[in-house]
Structure 1
Amino acid sequence: MKKLINDPRAVVDESVEGFGLAHADLVTVHPEPKYVTRRDAPVAGKVGLVSGGGSGHEPLHAGFVGLGMLDAAVPGAVFTSPTPDQIIPATLAVNSGAGVVHIVKNYTGDVLNFETAAEMAQAEGVEVRTVLVNDDVAVEDSLYTAGRRGVGGTVLVEKIAGAAAERGDDLDAVAAIGDRVNQNVRTMGVALSACTVPHAGSPSFDLEDNEMEIGIGIHGEPGRHRIAMEAADAITDRLLEPILGDLGVASGDKVLLFVNGMGGTPLSELYIVYRRAAQVLAGRGATVERSLVGDYITSLEMQGCSISVLRLDDELTALWDAPVHTAALRWGV
């Protein structure tokens, strides 16, 4: 294992500390218990947005804390859910009286711990709503979740719900926007290599040089099937077919196309995937109105990518275009 780390047990602490130093103009890092808030939190009269999950998926979630997205992010250990003891103070810290929305990826630990934190926050007088993200079409069940996993679509939910909160929507309206995004986005991923969790010291699964795993999860969970390596266009088609079928993309639809790197894939290769995905969507009569390409929800150094397709309407497009200023996503400011 070759990694730029000191002690495997200190990876998250040192990484979050460095993140806070690098982006002190945007965020405040709270060390014990560990969570990250936007510098100006709480914002008077605004619904607060909190998300979180295991570390190792950077820039998710702390990289999306700031104007137009999250008010707080709660990092767990690598690939391990944050605890209620972290989530509760993060929730209280961003509550301005308008309530707080929790954006939760559908993994059992995340769901249970955010649920516990929401109950305890509500006992302290904070109204909480939860948006559950479950956009992964690869599997219905896994060791990590009951039902579909929350993956790449999480970024899109956080951006669009964050814009709704920033424009002044109330608690129920922000949660409804988040749910609407989740209902209209589907994702599927592929791994060309495994990742190595620092404290484990060995790859999370084994792939032969000529193999790939279709439908991989962001923690290295098994996918739909393992097959021989193919060319980029064939892989892209394999990922898109279940996405478009499940979403029911039809001629005339307007979509956002998001090609996400898993941490170890060059941007040049992600654009090859995007090129083919755009061709397939055009062949279906759909229009790619907005796009995003890059490493936004990763799995340490895993080689591979995921594709997300979000069906847009005028309101979702306007919210996507709204100003955002975070460490990892910024425009319009």
Structure 2
Amino acid sequence: MRMLINVPETVVADALRGLAAAHPELTVDVENRVIVRRDAPVAGKVALVSGGGSGHEPLHGGFVGPGMLSAACPGEVFTSPVPDQMVRAAAAVDSGAGVLFIVKNYTGDVLNFDMAAELAEDEGIQVAKVLVDDDVAVTDSLYTAGRRGTGATLFVEKIAGAAADEGMPLERVEAIARQVNENSRSFGVALSACTTYAKGSPTFDLPSGELELGIGIHGEPGRERRAMMTSGEIADFAVNAVLEDRLPRNPVLVLVNGMGATPLLELYGFNAEVQRVLGDRGVAVARTLVGNYVTSLDMAGASVTLCEIDEELLRLWDAPVRTAGLRWGM
């Protein structure tokens, strides 16, 4: 393996130490694997807690800070965090206004966040949960019952985070988070498989000259394999897959997301094709975000996420945010 690591067993802990050194505005508990915004708990504010397996950076730890998450719980690579982490995070950020758990729809995450919610409520913490299940590629997968949670997680965390920072009550923050998820759809494409540190080899075999359509973010293969396509052809396929599932009547937020190993030069070129398809289909675009945000280690490829918005959701999207992985307006 040619990887910038010490040993596979310490990858997550090493990364957390580096995150703490780079971002003193965060409190990083390396031993217990909890990342908290340093000013938490914020009086009267609903707290947002999310998490999942490592390997998707900057999701979720890179989205902790004003305007987004209050805390994040990183698990081992592609492995759910454990309930104790989530309870510890909830206790650290709860101001008495309640805590919203944002959970990607993967079986381990769902089970562990459900258990954590029960344990947190036993400690007197009011908890609500929102499940993100935006991926249109498959109905069920090796990792889920129902659709997978992918790029829309960023939209949910950003918009619900802004709502919480405005002082909205837990019930309203939860409702906004659910609305964002319900309005969002995603589709991903891999040009190469990723390589996990423990395995040391690609998670699936993808011969030269082929690509995988409809992949997830845990290194799992997609729903269809084809000969290599141009950027424009991939955009046609991915965007149309999303629009066939939900054709928006209002403007959309667009996320053109890199899977970890695709250069920004290619992502911006791909975005041009995505915008072309949306224009051809008569879909108005309100805002576009391009970059590596919900990744799968060193996988080459991209995903497209569309979220239909109204004036309130757009205002919350535009609200200031200051995290390691996303920032504007501050």
Match of 2:284 in 1: 287
Please state whether the residue corresponding to 2:225 is helix, strand or coil: strand
Aligned partner of 1:140 in structure 2 is 139
Corresponding residue number in structure 2 for 1:11: 11
Structure 2 distance, partners of 1:144, 1:17, is 29
SS, match of residue 259 in structure 1: strand
Percentage of identical aligned residues:
60
* Aligned 1:17-166 pairs, distance under 5 A: 17-24=17-24, 26-166=25-165
1:177 aligned partner: 176
Q: How many residues align?
A: 330
How far off its partner does 1:80 sit? 0.3
Structure 1 residue 232 displacement after superposition: 0.6
Tell me the SS of whatever aligns to 2:147.
Answer: coil
Q: Write the distance in 2 (CA, Å) between the matches of 1:31 and 1:231.
A: 43
Name the aligned partner's letter for residue 277 of structure 1: V
| Aligned-partner Cα distance in 2 for 1:157–1:273 | 24
1:222-301 aligned at under 5 Å gives the runs 222-250=221-249, 253-301=250-298
CA contact (8 A) 2:239 2:278 kept: no
- The one-letter amino acid of 1:312's match is I
Aligned to 2:317: 320
Letter matched to residue 4 of structure 1? L
* 2:4 partner letter: L
TM-superposed deviation, 1:31: 2.3
- Let me know the Cα RMSD of the aligned residues: 0.7
- SS at structure 1 position matched to 2:158: helix
> What letter is aligned with 1:309?
L
Amino acid at match of 1:107: Y
Deviation at 1:65? 0.2
Deviations 1:168-205 (A, max 9, x none): 00001101000000000100000000111111111101
Give the 3-state SS of the residue equivalent to 2:16 in structure 1.
helix
Query: Which AA in structure 1 matches 2:298?
Result: E
User: Residue 14 of structure 2 aligns to a residue in which SS?
Assistant: helix
Pairwise CA distance, 1:141: 0.3
**Secondary structure, aligned partner of 2:164:** helix
Amino acid at match of 1:79: F
Counterpart of 2:12, as a letter, is V
Secondary structure at the aligned position of 2:149 is classed as coil
Where does structure 2 lack aligned partners over 5 or more consecutive residues?
A: none
Q: Counterparts of 1:237 and 1:43 in 2: how far apart (Å)? A: 45
Letter of the aligned partner of 1:303 in structure 2?
A
Could you say what secondary structure the match of 1:223 adopts? coil
For 2:313, give the aligned amino acid: L
Shift of 1:222: 2.1
Residue type of the alignment partner of 2:26? V
TM score, norm. by length of structure 1: 0.98
| Deviation at residue 247 of structure 1 after TM alignment | 1.4
Distance 2:126 2:229 in 1: 49
Given that residues 215 and 223 in structure 2 are in contact (C-alpha distance below 8 angstroms), is that contact kept between their aligned partners in structure 1?
Answer: yes
Q: Which digits, 9 at most, give the CA deviation of each residue in 1:218-269, with x for residues without a partner?
A: 011121101110111001111111101111224xx21111100000001011
SS in 1 for 2:266: helix
Q: Tell me the residue number matched to 2:2.
A: 2
Paired with 2:216 and 2:281, the residues of 1 have a C-alpha distance of 27
- How far apart in 2 are the matches of 1:305 and 1:68? 26
Partner Cα distance (1:153, 1:39) in 2: 26
State the 4+ residue runs in structure 1 displaced beyond 4 angstroms: none
Partner of 1:332: 329
- Pairing 1:186-205 to 2, within 5 Å after superposition: 186-205=185-204
CA distance in 2: counterparts of 1:20 and 1:155, whole angstroms: 22
Cα separation, 1, equivalents of 2:124 and 2:21: 33
**CA distance in structure 1 between the aligned counterparts of 2:223 and 2:237, rounded to whole angstroms:** 11
Task: Give the partner amino acid of 1:14.
Answer: D
Structure 1 CA distance, aligned partners of 2:154 and 2:141?
A: 21
Partner-residue secondary structure (3-state), 1:286: coil
Q: How far apart are residue 126 of structure 1 and its match? A: 0.5
